[in-house]
Structure 1
Amino acid sequence: MGSEAESECSEVILGVDGGTTSTVCVCLPLLRFSDHLPDPLPVLGRAVAGCSNYNSIGEEAARDTLAKVMEEALSISGVNVSAVRAVCLGVSGVNHPRDAERVFNWIRNIFPAHVNIYVHNDAVAALASGTMGKLHGCVLIAGTGCISYGFTEDGREARAAGAGPVLGDWGSGYGIAARALTAVVRAHDGRDMQTTLTTHILDSLGLSSPDEIIGWTYADPSWARIAALVPVVVSCAEAGDQVANDILKNAVEELASSVKAVVRRLSLAGEDGRGSFPVVMVGGVLEANRNWDIGSEVINSVFKTFVGACPIRPKVEPAVGAALVAWNSLKKEVQANGHR
């Protein structure tokens, strides 16, 4: 760890990325408030736990997950609660001020009153992972779920998608896999064209007949379990299956439209629509494959409307982005009070 980190190691900040699949917490030393951050950033401790979206697992389980992952990160870092100066949580399911207040109250009971606590949707942590804590631009997350979220430099924000599978997040991993399962059932019924998805999905799940897909799906309809089939869909599309290819094309359209909606609502591209702005790309669905690169196809679609879009693949994980949001917020408060 460098001298800059050591100079402030008596105080730390926590960043939490709380998702539907997993929750990550990192502990960073409170760095000097300057315009330059050390590279690499000194991470004192990192802990991982399960889902913390209370819409998926309930309030008590989500609260316990957040408390446990923060406690573990502090323990790994060799510090206790008294060393914490600020905490930023980006949590899936925080879609309204009431949601943020609920999570804030959970965390307020854990830390002393002087600790600054910031609660956002997990998309904010993902955006900050690409902008190093500065909330400006648009982030597209496409993993188990999907969402586009944007901020302007003056603090306005907007989102598109992220409403979950029932309300149509079809560009998500869940959405892609659910469409593939539907295609297999429809093909088996004779309602749609045959597809190699049938053989490959049955092999992947260890099933012998499409009839068994119904029981498999409803036995445990968790989002992540179904989304895990995305690589099978991509493989079939790369092998030339038309049904799988159409599913991925639809996902690209859905994801690109959500980014464009946010950019328009916030005028991120300026009055003429040609200004530059960052688009942070996060999530397994957007990672490059052999021939089918969903992330690149999304950006190409966005480029057709907004030529100033600047795609960013983050160098740090969203939990670190959350910690940097806390650091930047503290920095602004200190500077506003006339201190350095």
Structure 2
Amino acid sequence: MKRYRNGEIWDFEHEMPVSRDGSDVILGLDGGTTSTVCICMPIIPFSHNLPDPLPVLARAVAGCSNHNSVGETAARETLEQVMADALSKSGSNRSAVRAVCLAVSGVNHPTDQQRILNWLRDIFPRHIRLYVQNDAVAALASGTMGKLHGCVLIAGTGTIAYGFTEDGREARAAGAGPILGDWGSGYGIAAQALTAVVRAYDGRGSHTTLTSSILQTLGLSSPDELIGWTYSDPSWARIAALVPVVVSCAEAGDQVANQILLDSVQELASSVKAVVQRLGLCGEEGKDSFPLVMVGGVLEANKRWDIGKEVINCISKDYPGALPIRPKVEPAVGAALLAWNFFMRESHKEGYKS
């Protein structure tokens, strides 16, 4: 293997000899705009039933690894550091790794995948199997326990719908970021609420309790102060943090807030429907069953105004076979299970034994 320019990250390996007996591991990474998580798991013997709980050897966390947000150099350093941390915590090194699945936001095109694969090949020995996916794929796998079939809807700060057929076809909808219209996302909901406050203040929109609630939350005294607050730091997560305020106003009967949430439900449902239709997940008659994995803070059922439940209801009207799944494991574990599934499938013919 090559010594990467940040080789000092791997200096721990010189002091940590790893036994070759039963030490084989896989790495699963979930890299997002907010944080990056790496899971190190042992190679699980191939069977139809995965152990419960899954044998996680180590978990490491780092910052943003989306190259569109922090640049390619910083993203690579974050990914390399979090992998090194996970291996160090597990008492392993790169010689014990058999497969890596890196699922990271910002991987939107084959050129993104190839660029990251080339970088990973500089870090790991040639025989290690490497897989690069969008982070939505790991989220899907966290609900299906490593199987690429069905559709995932992520609605947190951003939103995306991503689906796979059992024969490997894939499709996505949304996920292009707030500027290009991810209106069902946390950012989209909160941005529309801020816009509604400004519109009400200057007479272009209806009166709304969003005004007093948002101003109180932000410690502001007048709607015109929202301009300075917003543009002083227009980060997506900072704006999206206002979603609970919108939900509370909607629950209290505010019509403007209710309409914003209803619109978000339609947007999120339309993303799923687009993926389902393009892939034919519902079958020719539209009634076949398929997994629908639901991930993200916007979809969590912690309020009376349950956005996730309303999205499911909207989808089920057209596709009654949708089987909603709330994952019991985090996306990084889903990435590790993908690595395991890919590795075991490709190694089965070679007679691999753990």
TM-score in terms of structure 2 length: 0.92
Question: In the alignment, is residue 60 of structure 1 matched against residue 73 of structure 2?
Answer: yes
Q: How far does the alpha carbon of each residue in 1:249-282 deviate from its partner, in whole angstroms, 9 at most, with x for none?
A: 1110000000000000000011111100000000
State the SS of the aligned residue for 2:123. coil
Which residue of 2 is the match for residue 138 of structure 1?
Answer: 151
Q: Where does residue 71 of structure 1 map in the other structure?
A: 84
Change in Cα spacing, 1:28 to 1:189, as seen in structure 2 (3 Å) is same
Matched residues in 1 for 2:330 and 2:204: separation?
43
1:1-340 to structure 2, matched below 5 A, reads 9-337=22-350
User: How far did residue 336 of structure 1 move?
Assistant: 3.5
Percent of counterpart pairs with the same letter? 75
Q: Secondary structure at the match of 2:182?
A: coil
* Distance (whole Å) between structure 2 residues aligned to residue 90 and residue 305 of structure 1: 30
Q: Note the C-alpha offset of 1:99.
A: 1.0
Q: Distance in 2 between matches of 1:23 and 1:232?
A: 27
Within 1, Cα distance between the matches of 2:67 and 2:343? Answer: 28
Could you list the runs of 5+ residues in structure 1 that have no partner in the other structure? 1-6
Whether the 8 Å contact between 1:54 and 1:62 is mirrored in structure 2 is: yes
Q: Which runs of 5+ in 2 are unaligned?
A: 1-19
C-alpha deviation, 1:339, in angstroms: 5.1
C-alpha separation in 2, matches of 1:181 and 1:9: 56
> Match for 1:280: what amino acid?
V
Deviation of residue 290 (structure 1)?
2.7
- Tell me how far 1:77 sits from its aligned partner: 1.3
Shift in Å at residue 8 of structure 1? 7.6
Q: Could you tell me whether the CA contact under 8 Å between 1:278 and 1:309 is conserved in 2?
A: yes
Which deviations, in whole Å up to 9, do the C-alpha atoms of 1:158-184 show, x marking residues without a partner?
000001101100001111111111111
Judged with a 3 Å threshold, the aligned counterparts in structure 2 of structure 1 residues 206 and 9 are, in CA distance, closer, same or farther, namely farther
Partners in 2 of 1:245 and 1:12 — Cα distance? 48
DSSP-derived class of the 2:30 partner: strand
8 Å Cα contact 1:8/1:32 also seen in 2:
no
Q: Does 68-77 or 154-163 show the bigger shift? A: 68-77
Please give the alpha-carbon distance, in whole angstroms, between the structure 1 residues aligned to 2:323 and 2:340: 24
1:100 Cα offset (Å)? 1.0
Q: CA deviation at 1:59?
A: 0.9
Using the alignment, how far apart are the partners of 2:22 and 2:324 within structure 1? 34
CA distance in 1 between counterparts of 2:239 and 2:301 reads 20
How big is the alpha-carbon RMSD for the aligned residues of Structure 1 and Structure 2? 1.3
Which of 98-107 and 153-162 deviates more? 98-107
Which residue identity lines up with residue 143 of structure 2 in the other structure?
G
Tell me how many residue pairs correspond in the alignment. Answer: 334
Check whether the contact 1:25–1:73 (CA below 8 A) recurs between aligned residues. yes
TM-score by length of 1: 0.96
Q: What code does the residue aligned with 2:154 have?
A: I
Q: What is the DSSP-based 3-state SS (H/G/I as helix, E as strand, rest coil) of the residue aligned with 1:263?
A: helix
**1:198 CA displacement:** 1.1
Whole-Å separation in 1 of the counterparts to 2:25 and 2:131: 15
2:88 and 2:200 mapped to 1: Cα distance?
A: 53
Residue number in structure 2 paired with 1:3: none
